[in-house]
Amino acid sequence: MDSQFRESRNLHLPNGYCNVPPGPLKRCQCQIELERTSTADHKPENQHSMESLRRRPFFLQPTPLILLSLLLVACNISLYAQIRWLQLAADDHGFTGIYSRGKSWKQFHTYTEYSNVNQSISDIAWGGFTTNGFVAIPHREAARAGLPAAEDFPDDAEKGVYVLAGFHELHCVIYLREVIQDLMAGKSVDEKAVHINHCYDALRQEIQCRANDNPLYAPYQSKLTGDGQFRLCRDWDALTEFAKEHTACWPTGHCADIEAL
C-alpha cells in the first residue's frame, strides 16, 4: 500500500485533483491546493496591466510621454511666435498704419527754435511735446503682429500697454536735455545716473538698428553738415494722432484720472 501511495504521488494529476493521501484532511487540503492553483493561473487583469507597465522603459511610461508632448507643443508655439515676429519685422510695413500715408520732403536745419540758446524760446518749443506715446493695444491684435505680451491696460483688461518707439526716443532726448540744463545750473544729477545711461544706450541701439545711410553733404567751407538738405520723412503728426486715439492714459492707466486734470 505504501509503495502504491508513493507511486501515486509522482503521477501527473489533471486539474481538479490534488496529490494528497487518503484521510480526513484530504478534502480540506485539496481545496486549498486548488485555490492556490486557480489564483496563480488567473491573476486580475489590472494586476497584469500594472506589471506590464512596470516592465516598460521609463521613457515609454504614460506620464513622461504626456509631459514630453506638452513640452513639444509649447516649444512649437513659441517658435511660431518668434518666426511670425521676424516675418513682420522683415516686412517693415509699420504697426500704426502711418506708413501707408507715404513720406514727405522736409528741410533740415542746423539751428532751429529747439536749439536756441535762449531757453525762454527753446523751452516753449520743447514743451510742445505733450503726448507720451503710451498706447493700449488689444492683446489679440498684438499677438497677430508678433508683439510680446504686455501688462493689462487697467481700464480694459482685453488690451495691453505699449509705448511707441518714436515717443520713447523723444522722451530720452528731452530727458537728456533737462539733465544738461540741471548741470549748467550747478545742480547735482547723481540720482539720475541710471536713467541717463539708459537713454544714451537706448538711442544708440535705435541708431544702429536703423543704420540710416542717407548721405549728408558737407557745405563748402562750412561745418554745418546737412544744413538745408531735404529729406524724405514719415508723418510725425499722424503718429501723434494714433497715440492720442489709442492712449493708455499713462501713468495711472485710468483715463478718468487724466480727464480730471
pLDDT at 135: 98
Q: Are residues 115 and 37 in the same domain?
A: no
Question: What digits encode the pLDDT tens for the residues 33-55?
Answer: 545 555 545 555 555 555 554 55
Alpha carbon 234 to chain centroid distance?
29
Structural domain includes residue 128: yes
pLDDT at 200: 97
Q: Are residues 117 and 207 in the same domain?
A: yes
Res 87 pLDDT > 50: yes
For residues 147 and 145, give the distance between their C-alpha atoms in angstroms, rounded to a whole number.
6
Give the total number of structural domains in the chain.
2
Structural domain includes residue 61: no
Structural domain includes residue 238: yes
pLDDT at 67: 75
Three cell numbers written together for 114? 529747439
pLDDT at 258: 77
Contact 132, 248 (CB under 8 A): no
Domain limits for position 174 = 102-259
Q: Are residues 32 and 116 in the same domain?
A: no
Q: Are residues 237 and 113 in the same domain?
A: yes
Sign of CA dihedral 234, 240, 242, 243: positive
**More confidently predicted of 261 and 103:** 103
Structural domain includes residue 71: no
Alpha carbon 185 to chain centroid distance?
43
Q: Are residues 108 and 216 in the same domain?
A: yes
3-state secondary structure of 98: helix
**More confidently predicted of 57 and 197:** 197
Q: Are residues 10 and 118 in the same domain?
A: no
Strand partners for 107: 230
Q: Are residues 244 and 166 in the same domain?
A: yes
Q: Are residues 27 and 150 in the same domain?
A: no
Q: Are residues 6 and 126 in the same domain?
A: no
pTM value is 0.66
Structural domain includes residue 55: no
Three cell numbers written together for 96? 500704426
pLDDT at 45: 54
Structural domain includes residue 57: no
Q: Are residues 32 and 139 in the same domain?
A: no
Q: Are residues 239 and 124 in the same domain?
A: yes
